[in-house]
Amino acid sequence: MLKVGDKVKCQVSGEIVTVKKKLGEGGQGIVYLVGSDNGDKALKWYNEQQSTDEQKTSIINLVMGGAPKGEAGKRFVWPIDVVTCEDNDNFGYLMNLIDKDKYAELGEVWAHIKPVPGRHEMCRISYELANSYRELHLEGYCYRDISEGNLMFNVDTGEVLICDNDNVGINRQSKCQVQGTWEYMAPEIIMGKATPSTLTDLYSLAVLLFRLWIWHHPLHGEIEYNIRSWDIPAKKKVYGEEPIFVFDPHNMKNKLPNDPEYSTPRKLWEHCPEPLKNLFIKSFTEGLHNPDKRVTEGEWQELFLELDDCIVACSKDKAENFWYSGIQDFRCWYCKAKIDNPIRLKLKAASGTIREMVLNKDTKVLERHINLYGDEGKKDNVIGEIVQNPNNPSMWGLKNLTQNIWKIIKTDGTECEVVPSRSVAISLGIKIDFGTGSIGEFEK
């Protein structure tokens, strides 16, 4: 392998970089810190078994093709250049460094080395994961090795980075040296009936999201609990031959064991919002054996945006709770105190799509809320915010931050206008025509 001080060459740019120190080691090779003209970078140097012509061609194609477009693409720590050494047949690739102080691994959160993200941050982490893989798939790629080891996130903001992108390839075309990580591989791959594809990526994504929210594997129940030798045949049984969701509502054969060690996933599932439970159930019942029934990245995206819009803080302990349509006996997950149904802005698009958002004192209405098919680059633009009446602090309103006039329909049917920089008082039954095809109504 390489030594400190070794000079290696970038094949695309022609730049010479210098090895400074070893950062880490994995099954495919070693990662080094290297100095370059553009500052310090990371170099993944493959071991002999991984240094194949096919892998080198694959990395060159990724470098030349570039990361997926837009904000979704920026989350991938994408290969920058292929790197070789004159007196060494092995090779590697250059990538940007990750700030380990700023970004956490899931295992660090489980071990309480890094703090647990809040509800808003959890929604953003989950949304950004789904959004990034969606863009990757739309550009014709499949990831082929989605796992917790390739995810890092900022616990304070929910920003995501996706690492180890050297196994990305053209869906159902380019060959790959890995099939995935056992715990994340779809049953059809385990059983040798399929190779990695965008459909198997969807299964792996669902497993990763489940582990993020429930801190457990969706198939680790009594079947795995009663296995004494966790070898290849055992893994093949649990993940491929007899996969059963631990929370399958119709098949209790693989439920969580009656053991205190399983109290955390049991409690997290209990507090999991119903819409999220439903997608997990779909993923690991219908989607377990039928790839075409798997939850899509778009479905995950929409769910986490909706959950993020409907977070209510308990008035007693400030714990964050998810409100959702149809919820019964709304109580704080932490102190069990009853929470009144919050005031919401119910948005109905011209297409008939209905979305709801809880109105808290810091709520902001975004372009994506009122314009489902608007410019992707403007979807997070703030078009309205909750404000207090300066003359009567007990009165709250929604301030128009756009350059357009909003039409207001009162409960008696009369209409008026709200010009830019003015506010409409929040009062149940009042409707707002935002001029984008979406109508909002205040309700409780």
pLDDT reported for residue 180: 82
- Band (pLDDT 50/70/90 cuts) for residue 174 is low
8 Å CB contact between 188 and 179? no
C-beta of residue 83 within 8 angstroms of C-beta of residue 9: yes
Write down the domain spans for the chain.
7-95, 106-303, 343-443
Phi, psi of 121 (to 5 degrees): -65, -40
Model pLDDT for residues 291-324, shown as the tens digit of each residue: 999 999 999 999 999 999 999 999 999 999 999 9
Token duo for residue 202: 């969807």
Residue 430, pLDDT > 70, answer yes
What mean pLDDT comes out for the span 281-294?
97
For residue 350, name the pLDDT band (cuts at 50, 70, 90).
Answer: confident
Q: Note the pLDDT of residue 292.
A: 96
pLDDT of 393 over the 90 cut: no
Local confidence band at 374 (pLDDT 50, 70, 90 cut-offs) = confident
Q: Work out the percent of the chain whose per-residue pLDDT is above 90.
A: 85
- Inter-residue contact 21 to 3 (CB < 8 Å): no
Q: What pLDDT sits at residue 170?
A: 87
- pLDDT bracket for residue 345 (50, 70, 90): very high
Place of tokens 């953003």: 124
Instruction: Answer yes or no: is pLDDT of 356 > 70.
Output: yes
Distance CA 76, CA 68 (A): 8
Among candidates 415, 413, 383, which has minimal Cα distance to 398? 383
Assign a CATH topology to domain 106-303: Transferase(Phosphotransferase); domain 1 (1.10.510)
Per the prediction, the chain carries an average pLDDT of 94
**pLDDT, tens only, 61-77:** 999 999 999 999 999 99
| Phi, psi at 8, each rounded to 5° | -130, 155
Find tokens 């080691």 and name the residue: 25
Q: What is the mean pLDDT of residues 177-204?
A: 92
Per-residue model confidence (pLDDT) at position 87: 81
Banded model confidence at residue 98, pLDDT cuts 50, 70, 90: very high
Q: Give the residue among 78, 111, 302 at the shortest CA–CA distance from 215.
A: 111
Domain 343-443: which CATH number of 2.20.25, 1.10.8, 2.60.200, 2.60.290: 2.60.200
Confidence category of residue 171, pLDDT binned at 50, 70, 90: confident
Beta bridge pairs of residue 409: 415, 431
pLDDT of residue 208: 98
pLDDT for res 176 = 65
8-state DSSP, 53: H
pLDDT digits (tens, 9 = 90+) for 213-230: 999 999 999 999 999 999
Task: Give the pLDDT mean for 392-406.
Answer: 93
Fold (CATH) for 7-95: Phosphorylase Kinase; domain 1 (3.30.200)
pLDDT at 28: 86
Residue 254, pLDDT > 70, answer: yes
Residue 253 pLDDT grade (very low, low, confident, very high; cuts 50, 70, 90): very high
Digit-coded pLDDT (tens) for 104-130: 999 999 999 999 999 999 999 999 999
pLDDT classification of 271: cutoffs 50, 70, 90:
very high
